[in-house]
């Protein structure tokens, strides 16, 4: 899966994703470390990548103006729940395609996740 990692992700999370074969780049490498949330989301759309973040502000941002060409994976993760959230994140990514997750926000927590579709799909699945 093609992912754009927000700067707030743990390095271990990036290692887990890359170790599972996912194509992950840091948002700071694309838009710089001081980019606004809107710029980071735009970079994910432009690069055709899902955005992975811990920042709850992205949830509010995509609810206000849902992106149609990307999705957001919002990790509810703390140091003590790293392993459980990583396992659930890999389960999400293994069970869905990029197209499945476009226009959605996925909240990933220890042992569970919720997919909220923000953009209606056309009959052709796009």
pLDDT of 121 reads 53
Q: Are strands 2-5 and 104-109 parallel, antiparallel or unpaired?
A: unpaired
Chain-centroid distance, C-alpha 86:
13
Predicted local confidence at residue 123, as pLDDT: 42
In a domain, 61, yes or no: yes
CATH number, residue 60: 3.40.50
* Ordered mean pLDDT values, 10 residues apiece, the chain (126 residues): 95 97 96 93 92 91 77 93 96 93 93 87 48
| Reported pTM | 0.90
pLDDT of residue 94: 96
What pLDDT is attached to residue 124? 46
- Domain of 100? 2-117
Total tally of structural domains belonging to the chain? 1
């Amino acid at each position: 899966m093609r992912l754009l990692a927000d700067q707030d992700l743990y390095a271990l999370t990036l290692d887990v994703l890359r170790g599972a074969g996912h194509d992950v780049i840091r948002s700071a490498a694309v838009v710089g470390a001081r980019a606004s949330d809107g710029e980071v989301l735009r970079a994910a759309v432009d690069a055709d990548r899902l955005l992975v973040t811990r920042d709850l502000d992205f949830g509010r941002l995509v609810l206000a103006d849902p992106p149609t060409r990307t999705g957001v994976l919002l990790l509810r993760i703390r140091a003590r729940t790293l392993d459980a959230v990583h396992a659930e994140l890999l389960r999400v990514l293994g069970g869905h395609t990029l197209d499945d997750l476009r226009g959605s926000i996925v909240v990933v927590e220890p042992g569970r996740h919720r997919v909220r579709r923000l953009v209606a799909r056309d009959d052709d699945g796009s």
